[in-house]
Amino acid sequence: MASIDLNSDVGESYGRYQLGDDAAVLDHVSSANVACGMHAGDPSTIATTVGLALARGVAIGAHPGFADLQGFGRRPMQLAPDALYHLVLYQIGALQAFCTAAGTRLAHVKAHGALYNMAVRDSAMAHAICCAVRAVDARLIFYGLAGSELVRTARAAGLTVAEEVFADRSYQDDGSLTPRTDPRAMITDIQQSVEQVLRMVRSGLVRSVHGVDVPVRPDTLCIHGDQPGAAQFAQAIRAALEAEGIAIAPITRPNGSPNSGPIADPHRRAAATP
């Protein structure tokens, strides 16, 4: 493996509620999943986060979730397929607008929280999400849990898929993430996280909480930006990967070209500010 994408969920502050140290985390990752205002984030936070990522050359993605600010998008919700489609479409469009205004491109989409974890098993939910991504821009790269229904559905929909593994979450025997209600769900020790990451990258295996080796494909590696010490986790993991000769770089499209970066338009004017 010559390179891997290192992504983080960021932009999750809201109003006076400040969560995480996005600037510090973005110093170490290659892709940013920006909250779209439903589970977290607000317009000013989105604009700030897009600017921070753009200044660091970090690929920017939409991170849509359930409309659940109180539960941080981590509570299951039951939505009809068309309602879910519209919810995801709305959020991708919001991030795309901020990227366009900043003179860059939206690169990818990754669902958040309960929406993500339900769709890894539910093909109807996965289909609604993937249809929304494709409707906005079929070139967007789709992030989904490695080996899950979500990535199978995305491939069937014709999307470019990045199979995702997690640095700071433990796994179940079927390759799903350990529910957050389980005290073993989060990995809070940096060295344990580094060891899990290196094993996934070297051998394509992750050990479940029950001691079962689960095969995974690590195209992109997630660190949660809301976890205490997230920047230190990101820094240590990046250093460990680079020591193995593995570069940290955003996912590219099948033709090898990046899916992000500034829009080449010499006539484009800087966005007006109030």
Tally the C-alpha atoms within 13 A of residue 141's C-alpha that lie toward its C-beta. 30
Q: Note the pLDDT of residue 269.
A: 36
205 within a domain of the structure (yes/no): yes
Q: Note the pLDDT of residue 262.
A: 58
**Structure confidence at residue 2 as a pLDDT band (50, 70, 90):** confident
More confident residue, 242 or 268: 242
216 within a domain of the structure (yes/no): yes
Q: Note the pLDDT of residue 256.
A: 57
267 within a domain of the structure (yes/no): no
Q: What percent of the chain has pLDDT over 70?
A: 92
255 within a domain of the structure (yes/no): no
Q: Note the pLDDT of residue 263.
A: 53
Instruction: Give the range of the structural domain holding residue 132, as residue numbers without chain letter.
Output: 3-248
More confident residue, 98 or 269: 98
169-178 pLDDT tens trace: 999 999 999 9
184 pLDDT above the threshold of 50: yes
Q: Could you identify the residue written with the tokens 């789709």? A: 142
Count how many domains the chain has: 1
* SS3 letters across the chain: CCEEEEEEEECCCECCECCCCHHHHHCCCCEEEEECCCCCCCHHHHHHHHHHHHHCCCEEEEECCCCCCCCCCCCCCCCCHHHHHHHHHHHHHHHHHHHHHHCECCCEEECCHHHHHHHCCCHHHHHHHHHHHHHHCCCCEEEEECCCHHHHHHHHCCCEEEEEEECCECECCCCCECCCCCCCCECCCHHHHHHHHHHHHHHCEEECCCCCEEECCCCEEEEECCCCCHHHHHHHHHHHHHHCCCEECCCECCCCCECCCECCCCCCCCCCCC
265 within a domain of the structure (yes/no): no
- Residue 28 maps to which CATH number? 3.20.20.370
242 within a domain of the structure (yes/no): yes
70 within a domain of the structure (yes/no): yes
Q: Note the pLDDT of residue 271.
A: 39
212 within a domain of the structure (yes/no): yes
Q: Note the pLDDT of residue 73.
A: 87
Measure the CA–CA gap between 273 and 164, rounded to whole angstroms.
37
Q: Note the pLDDT of residue 227.
A: 83
219-244 pLDDT tens trace: 999 998 888 889 999 999 999 999 99
